[in-house]
Structure formats: structure tokens, C-alpha cells
Structure 1
């Protein structure tokens, strides 16, 4: 990791994203994704909701870091809540 200024939190974040994609792949191989309509304005399956949730995580974290000087853990907590709500009811 010397070729880039990696920090441990960044490396862990990237590893968690790859782990989540691996879990989604295994889930798709075991049972086909079911398209359903939740609070999002379009019908989505697991992968769609995960992608939308990841975009939301990015926006929430970047907005939190840009707008406030408070601890990033609050932004992370808000992001994880968004992830849970989107995956469950999205």
C-alpha cells in the first residue's frame, strides 16, 4: 500500500465494500433476487438497493465532512442508518 497514501480506515472501508459485494454475489447464487417496490420511486432488487445505498453513503459522508467539524463517527452512523433503511424498506 506504499504507492498511495492509504490510511487504515480507508483500507478497511474498501475491504468492507468488497466483502459486501461478495456476500451479495453469494446471496444471488443461492436465491434469485426478487424485485419489489418500497419507498424508493422505482422497483428494485437487492443489488439495486445496495448500489443506491452506497451512493447515499458517499453523499452523506462527504456532506458531513464538508459542512461540519464534528466527529466523523456521527456521519458514519447516519450513513449506516441510511444503509439499513434502504436495504430493508427501499
Structure 2
């Protein structure tokens, strides 16, 4: 059923993080309903809006990192492509910033 996707450890960790965030956001929403607020994003958002925007951003960061891995090895004269763990850490950091400040 899942043979079409390459399930490496970083991919599994990435999707596990997403599932845990969705579960955590559900509990948080039940305990403390969200309100609209204006951060540095160009619109007023709720926690769910910021999570959605952050998850999209995280996905694009990971896709760009995977797509540009060979180029980065070329540009920075690396022996091999950079680890995808770097993109996971970067995307989760960006997601955290969007959730906090967005």
C-alpha cells in the first residue's frame, strides 16, 4: 500500500511530528479555544491557520532541500549531499516561529 513512497527515518520522523502537532493542537483547542490575532503575517490568524501555513512552509523547505541537495553539494564543494536532518530541523524551527510570531 505504501510502496510508492520512500519511507526513510527522516520522512517517518517528519510525518510523526505532523501527527503529534495535530493531536496536540486538537487538545489545546479543546482546552483553550483560539481567537484571531494579528502578527507579522499579512492577515489576522488563529492557531489553526498558523499551523496550516507553517506546515505548508515546512513541506516546501523540505522539498526544496531534497531537490537542491545535489546542487548544494556542488556549490559548497561537499563530498556528499547534505543530510535531510538539516531540512527537518530548519523546517520545524520555521514552523515554530510562524506559530509564535505569525
- Match of 2:64? 63
Matches within 5 A, 1:32-47: 32-47=33-48
Partner SS, residue 98 of structure 2: helix
Unmatched tracts of structure 2, length 5 or more: 70-80
Are the structure 2 counterparts of residues 44 and 56 from structure 1 closer, same or farther at C-alpha, using a change threshold of 3 Å? same
Residue 4 (structure 1) aligns with: 2
Distance verdict in 2 for CA 1:89–1:58, change over 3 Å: same
Question: What is the alpha-carbon root mean square deviation over aligned residues?
Answer: 1.5
Structure 1 runs of 4+ with >4 Å offset = none
1:12 Cα offset (Å): 3.6
TM-score, normalisation: structure 2: 0.76
1:81–1:28 CA distance, 2 compared to 1 (3 A): same
* 1:12–1:76 Cα change, 3 Å: closer
Question: Any unmatched runs of 5+ in structure 1?
Answer: none
Which segment drifts farther, 77-86 or 7-16?
Answer: 7-16
After TM superposition, give the deviation of residue 32 of structure 1 in Å. Answer: 1.1
TM-score, structure 1 as length reference: 0.85
Q: How many residues align?
A: 88
